[in-house]
Amino acid sequence: MNAHNEADRALKAKHRDMWALGDYPAVAAEVIPDLGAILVEACGVGRGDRVLDVAAGSGNAAIPAALAGASVVASDLTPELLEAGRVLAAKRGAEVEWRPADAEALPFADGEFDTVLSCVGVMFAPHHQAAADELVRVCRPGGTIGTLSWTPEGFIGQMLATMKPYAPAPPPGAQPPPLWGSEDHVRALFRDAVTDVAARRQMVTIDRFADPSAFRDYFKANYGPTVAVYRAIAGDPDRVAALDHALTELARRHLKDEEKAVMEWEYLLLTARKRA
């Protein structure tokens, strides 16, 4: 058991460090600023609700939930992201409690929250069942659980698949993040612990990149998983060039309008009620 615990601690430390690379708060604020508010609205968050944002990053969902009048705790494995969130929340006049926490072992009581949500966050916890069980555990009976996750077939799912051959092999038991974007997978994780599952695939329009190579360079500089993969192959110029080409081509294939360099990225928005 100790060896397992040690391995898990090392894996979590690696995840924590990866998300501190680059500038994820910039990605959340500049590329996908509206996703958190979409999830908050889908969950019906309102005044006086007790809300937990799991794998909250810099508060893309926590801040809109607080501005909707909820009492919000934002938890994340990476302290640097919570620090950035604290600054953003203060700027926007949102009151949020920021707590370092592992999505697979949340430091909260059973049934502590009315709504438990995660916006492109919990999907990156390596052990999906452990994370899903925690989302359910800390939600009160009859409360709402909501996730917004990139789909395997959508742009970010395809980007992660494109980077995978260049990345160090994941440890045994770690599952691919975009599985959270598959409705069947999430239903299987929650099993009969929830009712009233509502799931729909939607698109977010991305129009901030001048062209595919501008997208690639932005993600190489700012998105932790991409920064980490490039660091892993930094000593091999051929592999760097191959990944550069693969990411540029991926973006090119997803252009909706070459003239304007507009892309649409697919995500799964899923809400459910914890069985009373």
- Hey, how many other C-beta atoms are within 10 angstroms of the C-beta on 199? 16
Cβ pair 4, 28 in contact under 8 A: no
- Residue 168, helix vs strand vs coil: coil
Digit-by-digit pLDDT tens for the chain (276 residues) are: 466 788 889 999 999 999 999 999 999 999 999 999 999 999 999 999 999 999 999 999 999 999 999 999 999 999 999 999 999 999 999 999 999 999 999 999 999 999 999 999 999 999 999 999 999 999 999 999 999 999 999 999 999 999 999 999 988 889 999 999 999 999 999 999 999 999 999 999 999 999 999 999 999 999 999 999 999 999 999 999 999 999 999 999 999 877 778 999 999 999 999 999
Tell me the C-alpha distance between 73 and 58, whole Å. Answer: 12
Task: Please give the tally of structural domains in the chain.
Answer: 1
Residue 76 lies in a domain: yes
Give the pLDDT score at 2: 65
Q: Which of 274, 275, 246, 32 is nearest to 135 (CA)?
A: 274
What is the residue range of 145's domain?
Answer: 2-205+265-274
Residue 130 lies in a domain: yes
Give the pLDDT score at 156: 98
Residue 28 lies in a domain: yes
Task: Give bridge partners of residue 267 from the DSSP assignment.
Answer: 150, 202
Burial class for 116, CB neighbours closer than 10 Å (0-12, 13-18, 19+): buried
CATH of the domain at 165: 3.40.50.150
Burial class for 221, CB neighbours closer than 10 Å (0-12, 13-18, 19+): middle
Give the pLDDT score at 1: 44
- Hey, how many other C-beta atoms are within 10 angstroms of the C-beta on 240? 16
DSSP label at residue 172 = T
CA 239 vs CA 22, 192, 212, 259: distances in Å: 20, 45, 19, 30
Q: Which of 161, 194, 166 is nearest to 178 (CA)?
A: 161
Residue 227 lies in a domain: no
Q: Which of 72, 59, 69, 55 is nearest to 115 (CA)?
A: 72
Backbone angles phi, psi at 182, to 5 degrees: -105, 120
Beta strand segments in the chain, E: 50-54, 71-76, 96-100, 113-119, 139-150, 194-206, 255-257, 262-274
Residue 211 lies in a domain: no
Residue 239 lies in a domain: no
Residue 260 lies in a domain: no
Task: Kindly report, residue by residue over 71-110, the tens digit of the pLDDT.
Answer: 999 999 999 999 999 999 999 999 999 999 999 999 999 9
